[in-house]
Amino acid sequence: MSSWPWLRAGSRGTRPVCRNDSSAWRVMLADPIHADAEAWLQARCTIVRPAPGGPAAFGHALATCDGVIVRTSVVTGAAISASTRLRVIAKHGSGTDNIDVATATRMGVCVASCPGENAAAVAEFTVACLFLLRRPVIEGNRWLRSSQPEGSLVVAAQRAGLTGHEIASSTVGVVGWGEIGRRVGLAVKALGGSIVACDPRIAASRIAADGVRVAHELHELLAVSDVVTVHVPLTPDTRNLIGAAEIARMRAGASLINTARGGIVDETALAEALRTGHLHAAAVDVFATEPPDVAGPLMSLPNVICTPHMAGLTDEAVRRMGISSAEAVIDVLSGRSPQHPVNAYVSYPNGSAEHDLET
């Protein structure tokens, strides 16, 4: 590619190539970012915040901006189409399912993300969930405060059902051997556990080189895992990837972790399997609708750890993602490629397309 495509013509005509006066750049922070990143950005452009008032107000504010940084706010195709000034959408994170990338591509707007910046945070959180599902730490805490055991505390705890399982004796199925899944798998391996991984988009030999067993089919992984942990993006292919049929294939008494995206696991089917006892427990950080309804299928079950989409929330990760997404915006507005373009886009007025990583 000879020059950066998002500085070229989109289907709607030529977008303004870099304004040299950076103080004229207007960048919307659709969601808050780390104070260090905001200060860095503030020194390079005018920061705009969305006015309260829902999608219409968001759309109006976006139309006045050259760039936008989004965490979980939804950027619809309609908002992108109406924002003739917009040149870059930077995702503060890795999953871009809240951005209409196809429309951005068509309109000549660069979408950038910061993959890997929160991978350690999400992987560590997932491993924490894994421990909590294999060892009843939460239950033990609750039990001790609500009972007055007599005699041997260890024996009483055992009688109360507080015996767990070792990670070292467990088989963990990792669905998606990307930045996060691989880190989780290697952490489990370091603890002596067995890993079986499934990722049809990565060569089996590459996964095997990490010293883990490769499942060529998801069903193969489901059948042998004590805990299944999901680390795929939400795409049309992965929506309901783990539905009733897949859950039925899981081992009786197995557990499931979803720190990826709601919509990948069918919440109603999961709740049913937890209620009937087919599955032992689950940890769910992400929901099909966020925030989830407190009366939703999973929230009332005692054997589910429900957390508020917090797996990536460490100060370190939030700072890295803030800086990385701010840099991506300034890179594009300055005429440079962002480090991680999602849509390496070229759609010339004659309709030819050179390259398209994701639409």
User: Smallest distance, Å, CB 34 to ligand NAD?
Assistant: 15
Q: Which of 309, 320, 327, 340 is catalytic?
A: 309
H helix and E strand count, the chain: 13, 14
User: Smallest distance, Å, CB 97 to ligand NAD?
Assistant: 7
Q: Which of 261, 280, 320, 340 is catalytic?
A: 261
Q: How many C-beta neighbours within 10 Å does residue 248 have?
A: 11
CB 125 within 8 A of CB 285: yes
Q: 148, 165, 112, 50: which is closest to 345 by C-alpha? A: 112
Q: How far apart are CA 49 and CA 348, in angstroms?
A: 32
User: Smallest distance, Å, CB 157 to ligand NAD?
Assistant: 32
290 in active site: yes
Does 93 bind ligand NAD (CB under 6 A)? Our answer is yes
3-state SS assignment for residue 263? coil
**Binding range to ligand NAD, per CB under 6 A, among 71-79, 90-98, 130-138, 209-217:** 90-98
354 in active site: no
Does 311 bind ligand NAD (CB under 6 A)? Our answer is yes
Does 173 bind ligand NAD (CB under 6 A)? Our answer is no
Which two structure tokens, joined as six digits, stand for 143?
């039990």
38 in active site: no
Which two structure tokens, joined as six digits, stand for 317?
């990760």
Interacting residue with ligand NAD among 176, 185, 322, 341 (CB under 6 A): 176
Q: How far apart are CA 106 and CA 356, in angstroms?
A: 11
Q: How far apart are CA 112 and CA 91, in angstroms?
A: 6
Does 136 bind ligand NAD (CB under 6 A)? Our answer is no
Does 115 bind ligand NAD (CB under 6 A)? Our answer is yes
Does 324 bind ligand NAD (CB under 6 A)? Our answer is no
Q: What are phi and psi of 75, to 5 degrees?
A: -110, 105
By beta-carbon proximity to ligand NAD, the closer residue of 194 and 259 is: 259
Does 91 bind ligand NAD (CB under 6 A)? Our answer is no
| Residues linked to residue 91 through DSSP beta bridges, in sequence order | 70
Does 108 bind ligand NAD (CB under 6 A)? Our answer is no
The residue with tokens 């060529």 is 216
User: Smallest distance, Å, CB 178 to ligand NAD?
Assistant: 2
> Residue 63 carries which side chain, given as an amino acid letter?
A
Interacting residue with ligand NAD among 62, 68, 119, 283 (CB under 6 A): 119
Interacting residue with ligand NAD among 23, 43, 201, 205 (CB under 6 A): 201
The residue with tokens 């700072």 is 319
Interacting residue with ligand NAD among 177, 196, 263, 337 (CB under 6 A): 177
Q: How many C-beta neighbours within 10 Å does residue 76 have?
A: 16
**Binding range to ligand NAD, per CB under 6 A, among 116-124, 166-174, 209-217, 340-348:** 116-124
Q: How far apart are CA 139 and CA 226, in angstroms?
A: 19
Interacting residue with ligand NAD among 178, 262, 292, 338 (CB under 6 A): 178
Cα dihedral 137, 139, 141, 143 in deg (nearest 10)? -150
The residue with tokens 């007599």 is 150
Does 55 bind ligand NAD (CB under 6 A)? Our answer is no
**Binding range to ligand NAD, per CB under 6 A, among 73-81, 82-90, 197-205, 276-284:** 197-205
Does 237 bind ligand NAD (CB under 6 A)? Our answer is yes
> Residue 201 carries which side chain, given as an amino acid letter?
R
Where does residue 188 rank: exposed (0-12), middle (13-18), buried (19+ CB within 10 A)? buried
Residues of this chain that interact with ligand NAD (CB under 6 A) are 93-95, 115, 118-119, 122, 175-181, 198-202, 231-234, 237-238, 241, 259-261, 285-286, 309, 311-312
**Among all residues, which ones are annotated catalytic?**
261, 290, 309
